[in-house]
Structure 1
Amino acid sequence: MYLEKLSLTNFKNYEDGRYVFGRQINVIVGPNGSGKTNLLDAVYFLALSKSAFQNQDAFSILHGADYFIIDGIFEENEHSGHPNRVNPDRVQITISLQRGQRKVIMADKKPYERISEHIGRFPVVLIAPNDTDLVREHSEDRRHFFDGVLSQLDPNYLRDFLMYQQVLKQRNSLLKLFAERNQVDNDMLDTYDVPLLDLGQKIHDRRKQFVEEFLPGFREHYAYLSNESEMVNIVYESEVSDPNFAEEFRHFRRRDTILQRTTMGVHKDDYSFLIGGVYGEAVPLKKFGSQGQQKTFVIALKLAQFDTLEAEKGVKPILLLDDIFDKLDDRRISKLIQQMEEGAFGQLFITDARPERTRELLSSVKADVRFYETGV
């Protein structure tokens, strides 16, 4: 599976862009601010129906324009999860958005009935400079990462997650209404609490199972990148793990009404990133890990994500490396280059403001390397 062609209309800083990509390594070069990352984001958007960097789709429309269109040709094959396709085949994916209207996603010019049918069809992994926010920032960032992986892996998880978000939004609206009226209807709350608790339990169980399955591969990647210098761990933390959670959830209805939001549930989960162990106590990576250890941790996360998607989908995900050579030390860069030389990855997209550096770094890699310049 790979992206063969990409066309952009009014997407971010691209009024009109046309690209034909190679199956292996595609290097996007150009000055800072010329649109290198935006081009990567277009690939990400096409694969996952959303931006990797903007939380609202409308922010991706070119300033002064009323719409954007992203159009691409993917090549699929018999291992892509679509058993009706016996031979390698091409599929055209088109995503468009008109200001004030709903986003439209089409496969071969036919709209999907549900966006969830598209998620995971073209697996993609992005490694970007701000990935260390996963370590340093809030629980929401960590949940977003793991939910994103699981959504590409498991359609049932994505369905339950989207339904949970919908019921949660409706319950919060009801709590605001109760607060305004200074009156609580417990029977009406039950109609939301029952499905919310059921969906929350399913999400909790799948997250817990995933972390257990994900850990061995993640630790292997960390050991490879760090020369096995320390132990690492990921601990899934959830209130739902408490056998009495449902009782506690209902007990705090009055608090929820006062605060006008649902204060307990899997939307409050977190993942603790730990370093150390075996011969010493494991400690939070956020507080005690060096910058190098934090960068290694998140790259190992992304590479383990790559392996997990490949194992589940039967194809190598598209790998997007945004400005990665400018943010890593020589040792970690050499480790990534070694994996490229060994053919660990499929189609790659790499951005760099210094093309001569990328040419030198990739000179030993026996692969088709193509360069594309932005801002010209």
Structure 2
Amino acid sequence: MVLNTLSLLNYKNFESETFEFDTKINCFVGANGIGKTNVLDAIYHLAFGKSYFNPIALQNIKHGEDFFVVDGLFTKLEKDEKIVVSLKRGQKKIIKRNGKAYEKFSEHIGFIPLVIISPADRDLISEGSDVRRKFMDSVISQSDKTYLTQLISYNKVLSQRNALLKYFAANNTFNADTIAVYNEQLQQFGTEIFKKRSAFLDTFIPIFKERYKAISKSNEAINLTYKSDLFESDLLSLLNQNINKDRALQYTSVGVHKDDLNFSIEDYPIKKFGSQGQQKSFLIALKFAQFDFVKQQSGVHPILLLDDIFDKLDENRVAQIISLVDDENFGQLFISDTHAERTENIIKQVHQSYKMFKL
């Protein structure tokens, strides 16, 4: 998968800009706040139909403008593919592939395999379980359309069940038959989601451990374990057992929407006991494992975005990461950094063609 050209119109801080890329390595360098990360985010936008850094779509429109357009020309399996994402105030976002708009955005997910590594990834360790679930879901969804559909359906039913619990509380009433209908649907979708997450992690965890070993050059015992209510019992039983609790809370307290990933080092939570360097290596290993998994599933080299990779990492560690990219297992790479010279010195050690963009 290669991105040949990228055109931005009123996207974040860009009024009108077009970039032509090298098929291997592309570096965006310049001072903080100049828009390096915004270029990477525009590329992410083309793959996922949304920003990696700002979920509020309208805030990606340049100040004082009414719309944005992000336009990318890709080559996938020797075929040209044009993807356009556009948004106008007061209207719905549109994603087009080769001039034809998608009816559902979910149909586009996975078409452009892409992995981003960013300082924002530290949220995976520091924030709540929803961030780790989103990570897991986004990796699986890139190669499994059915999973994404099941996930959307589960969340829709969950939202309806929660609304019903609030209605019961507000009106001091209860209807077991109506709740049973939602329970059955949650059981159906939730069980499939649980099975697919379990199967994914069976494949993913060994890849992740190998990557950590290569990046950290150490034999620290790191681990990633899956935590789910469904290991205890089937979802239908859990929902029935917890109905009084759910009525009191006015929301659904059990299910796959509560799943989590536990990150550990030497059997202790990495959030509390991992050094900054260990945490950073853990996250990079996680993302490289994502890269390996997506590539394995799609049969295409994902595009790799390294945003501000030097943040909290010494140059030797960065050089080591870049060298991992210096083989035929990797495709196109985009890097952002504040120091042009530092970036170029490291890139020169890699025997690949490259292009520098000074913003």
Q: TM-score, normalised by structure 1?
A: 0.92
Query: 2:210 matched to 1:220?
Result: yes
What is the letter of the counterpart of residue 343 of structure 2?
T
What secondary structure is seen at the aligned counterpart in 2 of 1:44?
A: helix
Shift of 1:152: 0.6
For 2:156 and 2:71, locate their aligned partners in 1 and report how far apart those are by CA, in whole Å.
Answer: 29
Q: Which residue number in structure 2 is paired with residue 162 of structure 1?
A: 152
Query: Mind listing any 5+ residue stretches in structure 1 that lack a counterpart?
Result: 78-87, 277-281
Unaligned runs of 5+ in 2: none
User: In 2, are the aligned partners of 1:317 and 1:346 still within 8 Å (CA)?
Assistant: yes
Residue 70 (structure 2) aligns with: 70
Listed as ranges, the matches of 1:84-233 within 5 Å are 88-233=78-223
Work out the CA distance in 2 between the residues paired with 1:207 and 1:326.
Answer: 31
Partner of 1:279: none
**Aligned equivalent of 2:256:** 266
Deviations 1:279-298 (A, max 9, x none): xxx11111111111111111
Matches within 5 A, 1:211-290: 211-276=201-266, 282-290=267-275
Cα shift readout 1:174-202 (whole Å, capped 9, x = no counterpart): 22222221112221222222111111111
- Aligned residue number for residue 51 of structure 2: 51
In structure 2, the partner of 1:26 is 26
- Larger displacement relative to structure 2 (96-105 or 231-240): 96-105
Displaced runs of 4 or more, over 4 A: none
Output one character per residue of 1:281-338: Cα deviation in whole Å (capped at 9) or x when no partner. x111111111111111110000011011111111110000001023312332121122
Distance, in Å, in 1 between the alignment partners of 2:53 and 2:250 is: 29
CA distance in structure 2 between the aligned counterparts of 1:269 and 1:192, rounded to whole angstroms: 19
Check 1:241–1:260 CA distance in 2 against 1; reply closer, same or farther (3 A cut): same
SS in 1 for 2:73: strand
- Looking at structure 2, the residues matched to 173 and 102 of structure 1 have their Cα atoms a distance apart, in angstroms, of 26
Aligned equivalents of 2:292 and 2:58: distance in 1? 32
1:53: how far off?
A: 0.9
The answer for the alignment partner of 1:330 in structure 2 is 315
Indicate the SS of the match to 1:362.
helix
Corresponding residue number in structure 2 for 1:319: 304
Give the stretch that moved more between structures: 337-346 or 125-134: 337-346
Report the equivalent of 1:293: 278
Number of residue equivalences: 359
**Cα distance in 2 for residues equivalent to 1:267 and 1:99:** 32
Q: Show the counterpart of 1:83.
A: none
1:127–1:322 Cα contact (<8 Å) kept: yes
> Would the aligned equivalents of 1:24 and 1:348 in 2 still touch at CA under 8 Å?
yes
- Provide the TM-score with structure 2 as the length reference: 0.96
> Superposition RMSD on alpha carbons, in Å?
1.4
Shift of 1:244: 4.8
CA distance in 2, matches of 1:224, 1:244: 39
